[in-house]
Amino acid sequence: MLPSVVFKLKRHSFVLWENFSDRVIPIRFMKSKLIQLVGVLSCLVVIACGDSERVTVDEATVFVEGAELRLLDLWKESGRAAWIQNNFISYDTNAMSASASEKVMAATINLAAEAARFNDIELPPQLSRKMLKLKTSLAAVAPSNNDLQAELAEIMTEMESIYGTGEYCRPEEGCLSLPAMERLFGELRDTDELLAMWGGWRKVGRDIRPLYEKFVEISNAGAKELGFQDTGHMWRSGYDMPPELFVEEIEGLWEEIRPLYESLHCHVRAKLGEELGTAVVPPNEPIPAHLLGNMWGQGWGNIYDVVKPEQDGMNYDLTQLLERKGIDEVEMVRYGEGFFSSLGFEPLPDSFWERSLFVKPLDRDVVCHASAWNLDFRDDIRIKMCISITDDDFVTIHHELGHNYYQRAYKDQDPFFQGSANDGFHEGVGDTIALSITPEYLVKVGLLETAPDQRGDIAFLLRQALEKVVFLPFGLLVDQWRWDVFSGEIPPTEYNREWWELREKYQGVRPPMPRIGDDFDPGAKYHIPANTPYARYFLAHVLQFQFHRALCEAAGFEGSLHRCSIFESREAGDRLRSMLEMGASRPWPDALEVMTGTREMDATAILDYFAPLAAWLEEQNVDRMCGW
């Protein structure tokens, strides 16, 4: 079969050849890619005519099946060890989890080396897709050296454990865990207290720094052994397109959204200036990062009351509604399950309720950062979360359940295809459902008495934008930083300085106190010590609006996108399920097409959703100097 290349011409795709690893390439690269392609095709001809009889497609099939079975066993074993370690952090559980990860790493790297035998034969697309999945299944690998594998696994567990046990201790008031600090960060308005807590939590980064430096070194060596330039390059190779084009793709999406973000930034800075004085929040300068209601400045919804319109027409605050109704942690999760059930999904199994962690235990250290798990790659799905009774966590519960329902929907796929179309899809599903938490939905489930009328729209959209739009530059910069760290562009001496360069460049925020010596602020964000790639969240924040728009259409909704809730729509549920069931078996444009009818990620849906707010912000900013 001939290879296929899909070129993207001004966001319209056309197929030049069939079946060339299903890549999508923007037109600006077409010329150079055509030249490269001629090279690739001539190589293929040479290979095809050369000595490739030694291995066959059948042998490759048998090899991949064996690899899947072997890894599936090891994934289950290490998943269980990681579950225990995350739920009971101790010296011993760290060691046990590291040892199980080490086994997965060793097996993966051995199998990937063996797979090289099949490099020179043309494999059917599904098989070569599985070969790539084998090489990109881990977010970090050590080279084939037992000592380095053990060292990397230990470093990774240790970093996560330092983060998980981190706290901020004050001389008189005692120590605060991260979830407690996060809650306070949303409520406190005293800038000195915020500043102290902001700096206090960042000590955890300093403890992580030496481990992170070593981690970068070993994982890069492992990625090289797998044929990648470095760990970042390995991550960027999982998007059904050449890695360098993936970078262009997300930068392009960001450029579409940037004007909306800058307008929002302008309004927020002006309002903070009015509240706190322009000496604290000077116009034309980046905003000090401790004033945004969130420990990392990645979502600003908690300062809604500072930036809201004068007559906001919004008659509710979800945190207060939950508190007043006395809703507990388990009941919050029940609302999430209820939403999926209303779309026609099976209820969660009893084991979910028995085995999940919903409440922060008092007697032991746990990794509180919310996560969703699938322990047996079938039905043993769980979440682990230290739930606070807040609107933020109400949304996060839906986010986590989105992972679980995705996992369950693709459970019949082969092990290498048990995943999402791309990692942004996994992160976007639950968020899509959460976009349907409209006032009308809250009325339907009895959490709110009456929904505000249209006069509350700007308030609602502003509240949403403070999370969704604000997140985008943060979602982009975390891996801009990491990719450059892995490539060596950012050396260890510059780790923290470059982090803040990016935060200023993309977000327009600045550190509120001098950063010195061994400060390592990226280490104070979970995904750095846990080594979870982050571009996925950027993608998810674009995709969820595309998903939402498509599901609203399927549900027959007419009207403004932000007023749509797909609650109780079987049609929307069916559409969603048909994409979830595909797992990772097809390139992501295929999955996107099943769901939305389009093969491209684009920013039109998020811009549509926020269009009324964009107009309002323009008016607010008329006499303001925007930018930083």
Name the site residues for Zn ion (rule: CB under 5 A). 427
Residue 401 interacts with, from ligand X8Z, Zn ion, none (CB under 5-8 Å by kind): none
Residue 93 interacts with, from ligand X8Z, Zn ion, none (CB under 5-8 Å by kind): none
Residue 537 interacts with, from ligand X8Z, Zn ion, none (CB under 5-8 Å by kind): ligand X8Z
Residue of 171, 75, 59, 4 lying closest to 378 (CA atoms): 75
Residue 396 interacts with, from Zn ion, ligand X8Z, none (CB under 5-8 Å by kind): ligand X8Z
Whether the CB-CB separation of 376 and 359 falls below 8 Å is answered with: no
- Residue among 33 and 403 whose Cβ is closer to Zn ion: 403
CB atoms within 10 A of CB 454: 11
- Residue among 219 and 294 whose Cβ is closer to ligand X8Z: 294
d(Cα 555, Cα 362) in Å, to the nearest integer? 44
Give the list of residues 6+ apart from residue 35 with CB closer than 8 angstroms, or none.
none
State in angstroms the smallest separation of the CB of 393 from ligand X8Z: 10
Residue 422 interacts with, from ligand X8Z, Zn ion, none (CB under 5-8 Å by kind): none
- Residue among 68 and 431 whose Cβ is closer to Zn ion: 431
Which residue in 102, 329, 400, 504 is the catalytic one? 400
In the complex, which residue's CB is closest to ligand X8Z? 370
- Residue among 101 and 298 whose Cβ is closer to ligand X8Z: 298
Which residues face 510 on adjacent strands? 288
Q: Which residue has the tokens 């116009």?
A: 283
Residue 370 interacts with, from Zn ion, ligand X8Z, none (CB under 5-8 Å by kind): ligand X8Z
- Give the burial class of 269: count Cβ atoms within 10 A of its Cβ; 0-12 exposed, 13-18 middle, 19 or more buried: buried
In the complex, which residue's CB is closest to Zn ion? 427
State in angstroms the smallest separation of the CB of 429 from ligand X8Z: 11
561 alpha carbon, distance to own chain's centre:
23
163 alpha carbon, distance to own chain's centre:
18
State in angstroms the smallest separation of the CB of 239 from ligand X8Z: 18
Residue type, 271: K
Whether the CB-CB separation of 125 and 21 falls below 8 Å is answered with: yes
Residue 86 interacts with, from ligand X8Z, Zn ion, none (CB under 5-8 Å by kind): none
State in angstroms the smallest separation of the CB of 58 from ligand X8Z: 39
- Residue among 399 and 562 whose Cβ is closer to ligand X8Z: 399
Tokens matching residue 301: 């919804």
Q: Which residue has the tokens 């728009």?
A: 549
527 an active-site residue?
Answer: yes
d(Cα 472, Cα 484) in Å, to the nearest integer? 19
233 an active-site residue?
Answer: no
Residue 219 interacts with, from Zn ion, ligand X8Z, none (CB under 5-8 Å by kind): none
State in angstroms the smallest separation of the CB of 149 from ligand X8Z: 26
d(Cα 269, Cα 283) in Å, to the nearest integer? 7
- Residue among 83 and 316 whose Cβ is closer to ligand X8Z: 83
Q: Which residue has the tokens 């992501």?
A: 588
237 alpha carbon, distance to own chain's centre:
16
d(Cα 349, Cα 382) in Å, to the nearest integer? 10
- Residue among 219 and 396 whose Cβ is closer to ligand X8Z: 396
d(Cα 477, Cα 503) in Å, to the nearest integer? 7
Q: Give start and end residues of each alpha helix (H) in 117-190.
A: 125-136, 146-165, 178-187
State in angstroms the smallest separation of the CB of 400 from Zn ion: 7
Which residue in 193, 527, 571, 600 is the catalytic one? 527
Residue of 158, 147, 153, 167 lying closest to 78 (CA atoms): 153
152 alpha carbon, distance to own chain's centre:
23
- Residue among 339 and 537 whose Cβ is closer to ligand X8Z: 537
Residues in contact with ligand X8Z by the rule CB under 6 A: 298, 370-371, 396, 399, 537
State in angstroms the smallest separation of the CB of 297 from ligand X8Z: 11
Q: Which residue has the tokens 């891996």?
A: 479
State in angstroms the smallest separation of the CB of 471 from ligand X8Z: 7
Active site positions, annotated: 400, 527
